[in-house]
Amino acid sequence: MHQGLLIPEVLLEIFAYVNIIPSTETTSTQKLLAALARTCKIFHEPAMDLLWTEIHGLEPLLGCVARLHPLIYHIGTRWGDSYKPRWAKGVEPLSAHETHQFLRHSSRIRTLNIRSEHPYLLSVIPAEAYVFPRLKSLSFSAIYLNHFLPRTMHRCHLLSVDKGLQYFVTRCIALEHLYIYTPISDDDGSTADELSLLSDRIHWCTRLVTLSCPMLDWAAWKHLSCLPTLLKLEIDPGCIDSPSLPKQDLVNLSFLNITSLSFRELCDAGDIITVMQHSRFPSLKEFDFEAHFLSLEKAEQLSHALPHYNDVLLQAMSSWPHIRTLDISHLLDDHLSSSEVSLRGLFTALSLCPQLHRLRLPINIATIDVDPDAEPIQHTSLRSLELETSESEIADAETLARIISAWLPCVDQVLSTDRRWDKFNKHLKSLRAATAPYAC
C-alpha cells in the first residue's frame, strides 16, 4: 500500500470523491464504499462513515439485526413512496440484545429520512435515549420523535405537529433549519390544536435561519421578528385549511434581516395583506406569493382581499427597496381581474426598487395609461419580466412594445404562458434590432 494512503486527510479526500461519483445500473456509490470498507482495516472506518452518513428509512439499520435481515433483504423489498413494505407485519419489537445490533452504526448517521410505519419496533429503547448522537438533518413522519433529536442537529423536516415538539426546547439548541409540512387532518379540531402548539413551540427556537411552516399566530410572528439569525421564511399550509392569521393585538413589526419571504398555496388570501400592512422587510431580496388551484370561493376571497392591487404593490416595493426578485402569481380568471396592476402602476412601483432583476405579476392592459411619447424613466436592472392578463386581447401590442422598449431597456421579451404575448414580443424584437442595443 502506498504510504500516502496512511495519511488520514489524503484518505478522506479520496473517499469523498468516491462518494460523489454518480451511480450506474451496475455499480452504486454504496457498493463502492462497501467494497472499500472490506478492503483493509485502514479503509474500514472512513468508508463506513461515508456509507452511513445519509440513510433513507429505518430498514438499513434494522437490517443489521440478525432476526430481521432475511425479512428485509430476502423478499426483494422495494423502497419507494408508492410502496409500503409489509415485512414488519406481526414482527416482535427489538429485544435489548437486538437494540445493540440496531445501533451498531447509528453514531455515523448525519442525515436521516424516515417514512417508516413501524417505529414500534424501537419501543424497547428508553424514551430519553440519544440513539443518533451526531445527527444533523432529520426528515420524519412517525412517532418516537425523542429518539432522533440530538443537540447537534441543525436541520429538521417534520410531517406532523404533535407533543413531540416540546423536545426542541431541551435538545435542539442548535436547530437552524426547520421545515414543517402538515398533511390533511380529520375535521375534529386537531389541526387547529396542532398549529396552536406549533406557534407556541416556535418561541423556543432562537437560532433559526430558515423556517417553512403553516401560518402562525401573531405572537409567533412577533417572536420571529426578534430573531437576528432568520433569513428565509416560507409560509406553506400544505394540504390543510389552516386558521386565518388572528387580527387581535396587531402591532407593526420589523424583520430586519429576512431576505426571502414566500407564501405558498395561501389558504386565507387576507393573511398576506395583514402581514404586509403590519410588517417591514427592509433587507428583503426575494418575495414569492402563490395561490394556484383556488376554489371559486377562495378566488372570490382573494379578489375582495386585493381590490387595490396597485396600492399593495407600491406598499411592498416601498418597504423592500433592496428586493431583486418579486413573484406574485395566482390563478387569473374573471373573479381576479380587479387584482391586476396597471401599466402606470407597474412603472411607479419599479421606480422604488432600482435593484429589481426579476418580476412576475398580473397586469391590466385593456387600456394603456402611459404616454408612449413621454420622456421615459428607465429601469436598467430589470432583466426578466413575466406578465399575465385576464383580458381577451392586448389592446395595442405595437404601442405597448414601444413603451416597454423605452422604459425597460434590458427586457428583451415578456415571458408568459399566454400566446397572446407573441405578437407583442415580435414588435419588441423588431424595436431592439432597429436601435442600438442598450449596454446592460
Strand partners, 164: none
**Residue (of 147, 153, 217) closest to 179 by Cα position:** 153
- pLDDT value of residue 307: 43
Nine cell digits for residue 241: 385549511
Alpha-carbon gap, residue 257 to 1, rounded angstroms: 53
How confident is the model over 346-351, as a mean pLDDT?
A: 89
pLDDT tens digits, 218-246: 888 999 999 999 999 998 876 666 666 76
Split at pLDDT 50, 70, 90, the class of 99 is confident
- pLDDT value of residue 225: 93
139 or 212, which is more confident: 212
> Which residues have CB under 8 Å from 306's CB, separation 6+?
269, 273, 312, 338, 339
Alpha-carbon gap, residue 412 to 431, rounded angstroms: 10
Whether the per-residue pLDDT at 362 is higher than 60: the answer is: yes
Alpha-carbon gap, residue 162 to 145, rounded angstroms: 10
412 or 129, which is more confident: 412
Split at pLDDT 50, 70, 90, the class of 80 is very low
> Which residues have CB under 8 Å from 248's CB, separation 6+?
218
Split at pLDDT 50, 70, 90, the class of 71 is confident
- pLDDT value of residue 300: 54
pLDDT tens digits, 154-190: 887 776 666 556 665 556 677 898 888 765 554 445 5
- pLDDT value of residue 394: 78
> Which residues have CB under 8 Å from 240's CB, separation 6+?
182, 183, 184, 185, 191, 214, 267
In the predicted model, what is the mean pLDDT of the chain? Answer: 77
- pLDDT value of residue 117: 55
**Residue (of 414, 415, 387, 404) closest to 438 by Cα position:** 404
Strand partners, 418: none
pLDDT tens digits, 4-61: 777 777 777 788 777 777 766 556 788 888 888 888 888 888 888 888 988 888 888 8
Q: Are 233 and 257 in contact, with CB atoms under 8 Å apart?
A: no
pLDDT tens digits, 105-131: 888 888 888 765 566 787 787 766 667
Nine cell digits for residue 283: 433587507
pTM to 2 decimals?
A: 0.63
- pLDDT value of residue 36: 84
Cα-Cα-Cα-Cα dihedral of 182, 184, 190, 192, to 10°? Answer: 60
- pLDDT value of residue 336: 45
